Each structure stands twice: as C-alpha cells, then as structure tokens.
Amino acid sequence: MDGQGMKRRDFIKAGLLTAAASALGPGVMKPVGLWAATPSIKGPVKVGYQAVLSGTLAGYGEFHKMGAVMAVEEINAAGGIAGQKIEMEIRDSTLAAPTAIQNVRYFVDSWGADLLAGVDSSGQALAVAPVMGQLDRVLMVTHAATEKLTEEEVFKKGVRQVFRICTPTYQDGNAAAFVAKDLPAMSWATINPKYEYGFTTWNMFKETLGKLKPGVQFTAESWAPFGTTDFRPHINTIMDAKPEGLYSVVWAGELITMMKQAKQAGLFEKIKHVMLPVGAAMDVLEGLGAEMPDNIWISGRYFFLYPDTPQNKDWVARFKKRWNHYPAYVSETAYSTMFAFKKAIEAAGSKETGPVIKALEGMELDGPAGKRVFRKEDHQAMYDVPWGLTVSSPNYPFKIMGKQIVIPAKEFFNRPPFEGDASKPPFKS
C-alpha cells in the first residue's frame, strides 16, 4: 500500500486549504442585497407564494391560488402598488418542512422576491420562521394555524418578519369553548388528529371550557393518525363513553370520511352537540353535500356568507364568476394578503422589509372577511369569524352556516406576554 503516505499528505493539504478558506470566508463577504441602496419603490413588487399543490390536499393549494391570482389581477388592473405591478410566482410547498425552506430560499435569493406568503402546515411555518429572520423578508402566513408561530417565534424570539392573516388555533380551541359553555352539554369527548394540531386544540378547548363552565367533564379521547380512512374504531370508542358533546378538528378529506361513517353508526342520534372547528371549509361542505347533518356546529378561518356586507357579497360574486367556485377560507386569506401588502407598501413608501414591517404592525385592513388589525406585539391579525349551525338552503347545493354566533376576537385570542393564566381567556376586560 504505497499510496498511504500520499493520501495522508493530501488529507492534510485538503484540511489546511479548507481551514484557510474558512478563515478568509467572512472577510470576503458579499455586499448587502440589491435593494439596500434603493430609496423608493423601483421595479415590480415580487411576491413569492407557496401552497400545497400536490398529493391529497392539492385542492387546498388550488384555492390559495385562485384567491392570490385574483387579487394580483385586480391590483394590477387598477394601477398596481404605488404604480408598480405585482409579479407573483407560486410554488408547491408539499407540506414538508425542508421544501418550505427551500422555497423561501429560492424566492428570496434566486428569484428576488420582495415579499413572501402562503405556508399550509404548522410544522412548515415553525421551520420557516427563523429562516425569514436570516433572509430578512416579510412572510404573511395564510393558512398554518399554530399559536406557537406568533407567540414563540414572533413575540418571544423576535422574528419580526413573520405575520399571520388567518385565525390561529384560538378559533378552534378557545372560541369553541365560548360556544360550548352555552350548550346544555356537561360531558365532552374528542376524535382528534394524532399530531400537534389535534393535541393543542383539544387542550385549549378543555382548559378554556373548564374555566368558563366549572364541573364540565372530558370523558374520552380517540386519536386518529394522519391518513386514517377507517374511523369506525374511533367512533365506537366515543359512543361507548356516551358523552353529550363531541369535538373534532379532523379536517379536509378525513373529515368527510369521518362524518359519513359517524352517520352510518348513528352517532348523531346519540350525541346531540357536535363541534367541528374546521367544518366550514368549502371542500368539506361541498364534499359532504346533503350528507352533512343539520345542526352541527362549524367554523373556519372565514366563511363566505359572513360578514353580511356589500363588499363581501360583491367579492364572493366576482370570485364565483371568475372561478366557478365559492371562495374557501384560504382563498380569502390569500386575496387579502395581497391587499395588505399593497396598503403597507403604499403607507411605507417603500417595499423594503424594515419599513413594510413598521407599516404592517398595527395596520387596519378592510377585506372580504371584514376589518382586520395586525396586532403589533405578535403580528397576528385580529378579526371575527363566526361559529354556526349547519342548515340546508335552497340556494346552495350544500349545507351552509345558519344561526351564527360571533365571539369578538379580542375576547378569546391569547394576549401578550403569552405567559401564565392572565394571557389566556376568559379576560376580565
């Protein structure tokens, strides 16, 4: 083996070279981004959008796309943002965290995005947040709901670049508890997804309802892993426990399956109060059609029949005309995101990250979903989304939200500093 000596020497050489280069590396740093020297808005405003466009949830991505594309078309037709056109590119987020990171890096460093939006899963949002700090671009989250994003990443860790325009898990956990406290049910059970979203929302529901209505009992839990197609064992577990109320954040296609199987098992005759925090999603309502039972409590992050304002009605009509669909909640959040960007950039007179963040903090935005305020501390948009009971309607081929209850966001959104009981509802004032 005469090669050994040579190789060891090579090894050392390579090591030295690498070490030398690492020492040099920091010295030969790149100049700061192109935008650093630009005083006012020049060139198009580039928005990088990512949503899930492949796999079983690809339908969600399409709804994101419809909302975002429509907003870009409308804004550009009306003269753009401060005279500049919006350019948008949409990428598949695939629901995987590494892909989400790859996408934002592509958008910012290769494509030259000024602003970013989208992101579906909570895991992705939490993974992307620290990267946004590094890349220093604003990200508007339009779907991912984990409260950790705004409480931990934005408020506690100080990632100021991240904002969220959709309602977080407070809508699913806390608001549901406010509705449940007035129902004549003293025992609750759940069939929830066996991942963070399921665990968090059920805990929030239990904690808040426990405070609002002392004596209420939580009798059974059944956890369904992602991809469950047979809910019957879960349904049986719950029916055996004989609770008066059922709470479930199972969503999308799985919710459709669960509802059908629950109906066959006769669950709705036994359990009178059923709450589905994401049951008002259009894919679920359209997917179940007449099979959705009446008098089920549903909610979402926006419902197209609320608020009952001319602005919302007009938007829903235009959306229906453009895409031949009723807008899903992600369509509304994607649509409003573009208008939030427009308002912030025009107020700041710049599309640079710093001024845009300043403009967005505390900004009011009128959109189809009504008036939103981006809370300064945690960058969470505060707006009201109703809870309501399903009902048939001659105007629609699916069940809609009948009796609507609106709990004001400020009554049930956790409050800064997000520590201890004082940060969680119910609040004294």
Partner 1 sequence: MNRSWTYILAALGIAVLIGIGLFSSRFILYLTMRVMILSIFAMGYNILFGRTGLLSFGHAAFYATGAYGVALCTIHVHSHPVLAVVAGVIAAAVMALIIGFFCVRHTEIYFAMLTLAFGMMVFSLMWNVRGITGGDDGLSGIIRAPISLGLISIPIMKDSQYYFFVLMFFVVSVLLIHRIGRSPFGLVLASIRENHVRTEFAGLPVKRYRLAAFVISGAFAGLAGGLAVFLESNVTPFAAHWSRSADPVLVSLMGGLQTFSGPLVGSVLFVVLRELIERFTHNWMLWFGLILLAIIMGFRGGIVGSTAALLKRSSEQG
Q: Which is nearer to partner 1, 76 or 102 (CB)?
A: 102
Peptide bond into 417 cis (omega under 30): yes
Q: Does 25 bind partner 1 (CB under 8 A)?
A: yes
Tokens describing residue 116 = 């970013």
Tokens describing residue 320 = 């229906």
Contact predicate 167/383, CB 8 Å = yes
Contact predicate 390/294, CB 8 Å = yes
Shortest separation between residue 373's beta carbon and partner 1, angstroms: 27
Shortest separation between residue 131's beta carbon and partner 1, angstroms: 7
Q: Which is nearer to partner 1, 15 or 354 (CB)?
A: 15
- Phi/psi at 405 (nearest 5 deg)? -115, 130
Shortest separation between residue 151's beta carbon and partner 1, angstroms: 13
Among 98, 235, 116, 196, smallest CA distance to 164 is for 116
DSSP string, 347-411: HHTS-SHHHHHHHHTT-EEEETTEEEEE-TTT-BEE----EEEEE--TT-SS-EEEEEE---HHH
Candidate ranges 106-114, 275-283, 350-358, 369-377; the one touching partner 1 (CB under 8 A): 106-114
Q: Does 256 bind partner 1 (CB under 8 A)?
A: no
Q: Does 36 bind partner 1 (CB under 8 A)?
A: no
Shortest separation between residue 101's beta carbon and partner 1, angstroms: 5
Among 84, 93, 142, 146, binds partner 1 (CB under 8 A): 146
Q: Is 183 helix (H, G, I), strand (E, B) or coil?
A: coil
Candidate ranges 102-110, 167-175, 251-259, 304-312; the one touching partner 1 (CB under 8 A): 102-110
Q: Which is nearer to partner 1, 94 or 390 (CB)?
A: 94
Round to whole Å and give the CA distance between 304 and 369: 8
Shortest separation between residue 207's beta carbon and partner 1, angstroms: 17
Contact predicate 297/389, CB 8 Å = yes
How large is the angle between the packed helices 329-348 and 353-360, nearest 10 degrees? Answer: 110
Round to whole Å and give the CA distance between 92 and 73: 21
Number of residues that bind partner 1 (CB under 8 A): 48
Among 122, 222, 331, 380, binds partner 1 (CB under 8 A): 122
Q: Does 35 bind partner 1 (CB under 8 A)?
A: no
Among 73, 82, 87, 199, binds partner 1 (CB under 8 A): 199
Q: Does 186 bind partner 1 (CB under 8 A)?
A: no
Q: Does 250 bind partner 1 (CB under 8 A)?
A: no
Round to whole Å and give the CA distance between 124 and 101: 8
Q: Which residues bind partner 1 (CB under 8 A)?
A: 1, 3, 7, 10-11, 14-15, 17-19, 21-26, 28-30, 53-54, 90-92, 96-98, 101-102, 105-106, 109-110, 122-123, 126-127, 129-131, 134, 146, 148, 153, 157, 195-196, 199
